[in-house]
Chain A
């Protein structure tokens, strides 16, 4: 709405493709069939480790120094605040026999570092988080303690929402289905799934999800985080071992700890480290007693949302055969977004889903819905239905969400509006590669594999997080910046989340903005090892060259 009023974006004169019926500010129409791509990993080939570029050492030293200064200033401010008994320290001290509600040591980072850039997080929004997102304007007169809103909004290009296939919409068949479900089923089924909260719509939707991911049976939960929080307790106990990638999501860590199983960590995506750990654990058995483990559950994510890396599934399948562990893959970010048919990592690697014991995923990211699922053999799911906290105690999934899931999955498979699903998948694949290649050629360091729809661009110094975020906001582009503790101390980054709803023109606008800001705040650290360098010098293409060659070149291996 606001975008159109602002004259910021005009509808293309000749929309191509199957999605002309959607709102332009939620889903931009395709302008050329060239902007489509179908990705697929060559079957049977292990995933090569992505080339990881590194900045000059001086940058890392500066980064450490920046943190040192920030921490010093933080402590000085703490000293004075404590001395003058400032309001902000009230919660941190003991008072009349009560310990502080939270410790000043634990909250130091938040009070003194994150607080300075609080305006870059939790920006309130209104409306659909689609191609554009409407931010509620706010400002702070007290150094980010409080924000005031003046009632105005800004429509920004959205590189921040998990909306891979662009199903965040207020019109179209999915929203229609959600509306129908509200009218037919109401807002809630009024109880947990195992008691009296199961609707025929749940059963139907579970079948659709199971079919979609290629498993016998599946189960839905009303929260993605909650799915992981409760699933491990149904699978493992204290005589079992959970082996977990070091970068696994907080919900996995929470759930596996809750299960009481012993947890061992291996280095992110490092198959040698994993194999070493497996050999050691199987041969040594349980600590102290040396009894053999009852079972070993290996937990990985399909696509890592902070890194853009993918799990090396082909290798894991081999290891699984040899070491007889059970494989659990969290497809939160990969289901829908990866694979030529959008079925997730197995589809991407052309691996039969029978090689993965438990496929878990969330419906929040690719399908514009919310909640999570677990898919596996029927015998496993039947048992889980009876022994899962999520099914016995938590509320069932709300009906309109079921409508959204049902219709979006059927759109991807082509049963609804044939052709639309493929267009969404292929636009996402194209957008991801086009932007990644462009950023590399401009000279930025990005992480992850070529096909990843998540593109982390490395900023390194902490001060560049707010700088990048605010400058982008001035250009009406909404981005997510992340730093310590969500990432290692030195690798603060901005994370672009791509979507099928973005057009090529949007990506060019983004490239131009990033290029300009990159020059302004000095972000082009690429050494050239991750892209073609003609003369051995770092690669620095001009924006116009990047745009002129990107469409063709992004369909080859990204260099």
Chain B
């Protein structure tokens, strides 16, 4: 190469170094950096080289990371190629049409003609007839018979004559009505909390409450038997979740200890234990006292789902807390539940301290982005709670009596038919879940459900309506138990309860010989 060109280059580089050096020195704070580099060079020149390399690598990485992340995987294609690919692409059908072998599942949904009281006229296509048949309703969540109570119906009529049916707007935009406010104050007093907020649907209460408080990086320790609504709430909040064995307090403590150890060095984030008062999936209850002890010991907060326990557990229907005199509502930061179950209406609620509730009014998606519940549902639920508060009404006592009685009848009958079934729910609960005992269990998902449907169909033919629980495995985190749901109601007479026992086991003996 020509000498003069090289000379030019050298002088050019020299100039450039001087200019950048001057420029650098003119920056505020540069003297500190220069001093640092000089002194470190004096101490240890090798280290300086390492540092320089590291610096260059960091800059390179920073500049490159965004671009390559997006584009590394990108295959450049010409327009023609894209057109070809577009033409070639064949999507799968939007949903797979039902196979013949799945049709029975759709037919297994009974249609009730008229009101869903304790005696219903219903059609169940899997039984082969299409004429309505009068059967005893043993699968309704309306345990206390509020949904068809004459005085509550009269109230509902009164309310639609004052408010109309829909609320026509979310609570933020004129959808918060006097009826809602009044219900919120009644339920918070009834449950012993400072404040309450209503949701328009029970299932979407948990899915919305949980992500409104818990975010990525927070920690949830949840019972592995928790219901789907809570599972989905946890999923949407993107928290770090650890499961403990269903109702196993030893395991809970172990998980708490491990988790606290694991996250000891991390910044403090919100930590919650989530459990359910009466489990939808298994019909049993946790040891609340112990959980509260553990929560304080390990510094966790507690979230309790009372969907199935309000109006079912406790002498006056106040839920699980009524069974634990030493636990107060203040020990549970967030409680949510449903008015669509034992209160015989619709919608959900969340109770807690004033700030817990206030936060949800602007921070919970299902509150902010959905029309508020119709006013009549709020008034009916309030009327139901007032009835529970009135100890002379006797509804709860009747329900507990029927629940215990039905459990006894089923247990005795089960014993007589060699324990073909296993009752997994609490022995005093009107929400009864039974599964087929071990030796009849079929590994095949469809086959198990079909067996349960056969039992249901047999019962229906003989005059009682029960149902499969119909949980959907594809959405649940934990393998589901195949169960039948049988519900005691205050409207069931002693004869009815005996009838349920005898018909059920007649059916069981027929299907599981």
Q: Is the CB of A160 within 8 A of B173?
A: yes
Chain A residues with Cβ below 8 Å from B174 are 123, 125, 129, 133, 135, 158, 160-161, 478, 480
Render A315-343 as a binary contact track against B, CB cut-off 8 A, 1 for contact. 00000001111100000000000000000
> Total A-B residue pairs with C-beta atoms closer than 8 Å?
361
| Given A182-B160, A186-B344, A258-B235, 12 more pairs with CB closer than 8 A | A99-B268, A127-B163, A135-B174, A161-B169, A187-B146, A200-B114, A223-B200, A233-B475, A297-B94, A379-B95, A380-B95, A395-B346
Chain A residues with Cβ below 8 Å from B344 are 186-188, 190
Check: B291 CB closer than 8 A to any chain A CB: no
Residue of B91, B137, B475 touching A196 (CB-CB under 8 A): B137
CA distance A200 to B131 in the complex (A): 12
Stretch at the interface among A262-270, A386-394, A434-442: A386-394
* A142 to B: closest C-beta gap in Å: 14
Q: Is the CB of A185 within 8 A of B160?
A: no
Q: Considering the complex of A and B, which 10 residue pairs feature the smallest CB-CB distances, nearest first?
A: A190-B140, A394-B203, A225-B370, A395-B340, A223-B201, A186-B148, A190-B142, A161-B168, A295-B91, A250-B369
Given contacts A130-B164, A288-B73, A398-B377, contact A121 B172 (CB under 8 A): yes
Q: Is the CB of A170 within 8 A of B163?
A: yes
Q: Which parts of B88-114 form the interface with A (CB within 8 Å)?
A: 89-98, 102, 105-106, 109-114
Render B408-444 as a binary contact track against A, CB cut-off 8 A, 1 for contact. 0000000000000000000000000000000000000
Chain A residues with Cβ below 8 Å from B148 are 186-187
Q: Is the CB of B162 within 8 A of A283?
A: no
Residue of A100, A136, A160, A251 touching B369 (CB-CB under 8 A): A251
Render A374-402 as a binary contact track against B, CB cut-off 8 A, 1 for contact. 00000110111111011011110010110
Stretch at the interface among B55-63, B77-85, B282-290: B77-85
Residue of B82, B97, B368 touching A382 (CB-CB under 8 A): B97
Q: Is the CB of A128 within 8 A of B369?
A: no
Q: Is the CB of B113 within 8 A of A326?
A: no
Check: B147 CB closer than 8 A to any chain A CB: yes
Chain B residues with Cβ below 8 Å from A189 are 112, 116, 147
Chain B residues with Cβ below 8 Å from A133 are 174
Q: Is the CB of B116 within 8 A of A170?
A: no
Stretch at the interface among A76-84, A361-369, A517-525: A361-369
Q: Is the CB of A125 within 8 A of B374?
A: no
Chain B residues with Cβ below 8 Å from A283 are 75, 77, 81-82, 85-86
Check: B141 CB closer than 8 A to any chain A CB: yes
CA distance A150 to B216 in the complex (A): 43
* B273 to A: closest C-beta gap in Å: 13
CA distance A252 to B472 in the complex (A): 22
Chain B residues with Cβ below 8 Å from A322 are 86
Q: Is the CB of A190 within 8 A of B147?
A: yes
CA distance A260 to B495 in the complex (A): 50
Residue of B141, B200, B362, B380 touching A187 (CB-CB under 8 A): B380
Q: Is the CB of A368 within 8 A of B160?
A: no
Most buried by A among B92, B363, B472: B472
Q: Which parts of B300-337 form the interface with A (CB within 8 Å)?
A: 301, 333
Q: Which parts of B472-486 form the interface with A (CB within 8 Å)?
A: 472, 474-475, 485
* A189 to B: closest C-beta gap in Å: 4
CA distance A375 to B354 in the complex (A): 41
Interface size class of B (residues with CB under 8 A): 35 or more
Q: Is the CB of A226 within 8 A of B201?
A: yes
Check: B468 CB closer than 8 A to any chain A CB: yes
CA distance A26 to B165 in the complex (A): 13
* A357 to B: closest C-beta gap in Å: 6
* A334 to B: closest C-beta gap in Å: 16
Q: For B122, give the chain A residue with the smallest CB separation.
A: A196
Most buried by B among A158, A161, A193, A324: A161
CA distance A379 to B106 in the complex (A): 12
Q: Is the CB of B368 within 8 A of A389?
A: no
Q: Is the CB of B362 within 8 A of A392?
A: no
* A294 to B: closest C-beta gap in Å: 5
Residue of A136, A257, A296, A395 touching B236 (CB-CB under 8 A): A257
Check: A124 CB closer than 8 A to any chain B CB: yes
CA distance A280 to B122 in the complex (A): 53
Chain B residues with Cβ below 8 Å from A184 are 114-115
A-B contact pairs, 28 of them (CB 8 A): A121-B172, A124-B176, A125-B177, A168-B165, A169-B164, A182-B156, A182-B157, A187-B346, A188-B116, A190-B140, A195-B469, A195-B485, A199-B116, A223-B201, A225-B200, A229-B366, A254-B236, A282-B86, A282-B89, A294-B92, A370-B200, A380-B94, A383-B96, A383-B97, A390-B203, A398-B346, A398-B374, A400-B376
Q: For B377, give the chain A residue with the smallest CB separation.
A: A398
Check: A287 CB closer than 8 A to any chain B CB: yes
Chain A residues with Cβ below 8 Å from B179 are 126
Stretch at the interface among A6-14, A67-75, A173-181, A455-463: A173-181
Chain A residues with Cβ below 8 Å from B89 are 282, 292-293, 324
Most buried by B among A249, A370, A384, A403: A370
Residue of A94, A102, A365, A401 touching B374 (CB-CB under 8 A): A401
Q: Is the CB of A370 within 8 A of B371?
A: yes
Interface size class of A (residues with CB under 8 A): 35 or more
Q: For A186, give the chain B residue with the smallest CB separation.
A: B148
Check: A116 CB closer than 8 A to any chain B CB: no
Check: B345 CB closer than 8 A to any chain A CB: yes
Check: A452 CB closer than 8 A to any chain B CB: no
Residue of A174, A186, A222, A358 touching B115 (CB-CB under 8 A): A186
Q: For A241, give the chain B residue with the smallest CB separation.
A: B91
Check: A475 CB closer than 8 A to any chain B CB: no
Q: For B181, give the chain A residue with the smallest CB separation.
A: A124
Chain A residues with Cβ below 8 Å from B492 are none
Render B238-275 as a binary contact track against A, CB cut-off 8 A, 1 for contact. 00000000000000000000000000000011110000
Q: Is the CB of A186 within 8 A of B117?
A: yes
Check: B38 CB closer than 8 A to any chain A CB: no
Given contacts A124-B181, A187-B377, contact A98 B301 (CB under 8 A): yes
Q: For B267, give the chain A residue with the smallest CB separation.
A: A99
Most buried by A among B137, B140, B203, B228: B203
* A81 to B: closest C-beta gap in Å: 15
Q: For A130, give the chain B residue with the smallest CB separation.
A: B164
Most buried by B among A186, A197, A200, A251: A186
Given contacts A122-B176, A185-B114, contact A385 B140 (CB under 8 A): no
Given contacts A188-B116, A196-B137, contact A368 B472 (CB under 8 A): no
* B388 to A: closest C-beta gap in Å: 16
Chain B residues with Cβ below 8 Å from A480 are 173-174
Given contacts A198-B111, A225-B204, A370-B371, contact A400 B165 (CB under 8 A): yes
Check: A97 CB closer than 8 A to any chain B CB: yes
Check: B166 CB closer than 8 A to any chain A CB: yes
Given contacts A186-B148, A196-B139, A368-B166, contact A102 B213 (CB under 8 A): yes
Residue of A186, A223, A249, A369 touching B147 (CB-CB under 8 A): A186
Check: B3 CB closer than 8 A to any chain A CB: no
Q: Which parts of A276-298 form the interface with B (CB within 8 Å)?
A: 278-279, 282-284, 287-288, 290, 292-297
Chain B residues with Cβ below 8 Å from A398 are 345-346, 374, 377
Chain B residues with Cβ below 8 Å from A373 are none
* A264 to B: closest C-beta gap in Å: 13
Q: Is the CB of B140 within 8 A of A196?
A: yes
Check: B359 CB closer than 8 A to any chain A CB: yes
Given contacts A175-B161, A370-B165, contact A187 B345 (CB under 8 A): yes
Q: Is the CB of A368 within 8 A of B165?
A: yes
